[in-house]
């Protein structure tokens, strides 16, 4: 095989691609073909409204927090609630999985019909997954209080199983090739070095709630934090600071106004200017 003037072999990409199937040319992909965003923030900091008002439409908004009123009036948006009124007889997770199967079927027919999908919030979607896991595996103990029984997941295997359920669900949604937004509640990070069985110590850094969901964040190209600024305005943090590990693949500022379409336009303008 021929070599270049540094003695390095010249490789034939076309020949290589005859053996490795299913590849894509990176130059044909843009950072806004699909938005995969984890949106983290305190309650009432504008997470749901950011998506419902400014995501690319049409939008399917999946509500697990029983707060559909928070996005009332949003244009080109449909909302569906997935709830488990009784954790001992769960239904929300199976209904969600059935709807995702329908979305996959519609995509196969080129009739998906939506540009964006939101899971709001992962914190309570995790509870639906856990409810279904407990029913199907019996990895729980239950206590009767009053007239109802309340199940409690038992053991680290239960945590790992729920994580795998959520990872698989996200993979299926990402394969739809649409924008996917997932909201997370936020909390101070547990200090694993200083915490004991008797006392939990927290750092000044922020993470998702519960903290064991942080393992999902690498799945997203965008990790944003919504917050209320000192003047009372809503803002979106898109880049890392000492307190929160925000991230973006877009050419935008570290603090943005809460408008996804404007952020996309800002990125596209920067790209057109060669940035």
Q: Which CATH number belongs to the domain containing residue 128 in this structure? A: 3.40.50
Largest distance between two CA atoms of the chain: 81
The whole-chain average pLDDT of the chain stands at: 92
So what's the pLDDT on residue 124?
Answer: 93
Q: Are 45 and 227 in contact (CB under 8 A)?
A: yes
Which H helix or E strand runs over 145? strand 140-145
User: Is 6 a member of any domain?
Assistant: no
Is the bond into 58 cis (omega within 30 degrees of 0)?
yes
CA distance 129 to 111: 28
Domain-located, residue 16: no
Contact 50, 56 (CB under 8 A): no
pLDDT band at 152 (very low <50, low <70, confident <90, very high): confident
Q: Return d(Cα 133, Cα 138) in angstroms, integer.
A: 8
Given a cut of 70, whether residue 2 has pLDDT beyond it is no
Q: How many domains does the chain have?
A: 1
At 253, phi and psi to the nearest 5? Answer: -80, 165
Residue 33 has pLDDT above 50, yes or no: yes
The answer as to whether 190 is a domain residue is yes
Q: Give the residue with greater pLDDT, 10 vs 79.
A: 79
pLDDT at 29 > cutoff 80: yes
Q: Is residue 192 part of a domain?
A: yes
Closest CA to 34 of 255, 219, 240, 185: 219
Greater confidence (154 vs 181) lies with 181
| Host domain of residue 213 | 34-272
Q: pLDDT band for position 200 (50/70/90)?
A: confident
pLDDT above 70 covers a percentage of the chain that reads 96
| Residue 1: band (very low, low, confident or very high) from pLDDT cuts 50, 70, 90 | very low
HSE-CB at 256 with a 13 A cutoff on CA atoms is 25
The answer to whether residues 186 and 207 touch, using CB atoms and an 8 Å cutoff, is yes
From CA 220, how far away is CA 108, in angstroms rounded? 24
Q: What is the pLDDT of residue 245?
A: 94
Domain-embedded: residue 178: yes
Residue 186 pairs with which residues in a beta bridge?
208
Does residue 154 sit within a domain?
yes
**Pairing, β 36-41 against β 77-81:** unpaired
Please check the confidence at residue 239 and state whether its pLDDT lies above 60: yes
* DSSP secondary structure string for all residues of 202-271: EEEEEEEESGGGGGGGGG-SEEEEEEE-TTS-EEEE-S--SS---B-SSS--SEE-S-HHHHHHHHHHHH
83-95 mean pLDDT: 94
The answer to whether residue 119 is domain-embedded is yes
pLDDT at position 196:
81
Q: How many CA atoms lie within 13 A of 251 on its CB side?
A: 13
In a domain, 120, yes or no: yes
Q: d(Cα 219, Cα 170) in Å, to the nearest integer?
A: 8
């Amino acid at each position: 095989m021929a070599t270049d003037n540094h003695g390095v072999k010249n490789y034939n990409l076309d020949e290589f691609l005859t053996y490795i199937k299913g590849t894509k040319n990176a130059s044909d992909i843009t950072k806004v073909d699909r938005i995969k965003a984890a949106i983290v923030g305190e309650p009432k900091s504008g997470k749901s409204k950011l998506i419902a008002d400014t995501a690319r439409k049409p939008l399917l908004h999946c509500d697990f927090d029983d707060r559909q009123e928070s996005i009332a009036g949003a244009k080109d948006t449909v909302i569906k609630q997935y709830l488990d009124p009784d954790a001992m007889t769960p239904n929300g997770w199976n209904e969600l999985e059935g709807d995702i199967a329908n979305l996959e079927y519609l995509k196969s027919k080129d009739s998906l019909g939506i540009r964006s999908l939101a899971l709001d919030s992962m914190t309570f979607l995790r509870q639906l997954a856990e409810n279904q896991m407990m029913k199907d595996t019996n990895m729980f103990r239950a206590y009767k209080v009053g007239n109802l029984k309340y199940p409690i997941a038992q053991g680290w295997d239960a945590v790992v199983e729920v994580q795998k359920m959520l990872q698989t669900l996200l993979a299926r949604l990402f394969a739809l090739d649409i924008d996917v937004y997932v909201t997370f509640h936020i909390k101070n990070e547990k200090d694993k070095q200083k915490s004991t069985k008797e006392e939990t110590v927290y750092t000044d850094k922020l993470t998702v709630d519960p903290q064991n969901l942080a393992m999902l964040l690498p799945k997203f190209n965008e990790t944003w934090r919504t917050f209320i600024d000192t003047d009372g305005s809503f803002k979106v943090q898109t880049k890392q600071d000492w307190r929160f590990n925000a991230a973006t693949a877009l050419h935008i500022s570290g603090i943005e106004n809460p408008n996804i379409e404007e952020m996309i336009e800002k990125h596209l303008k920067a790209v057109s200017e060669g940035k």
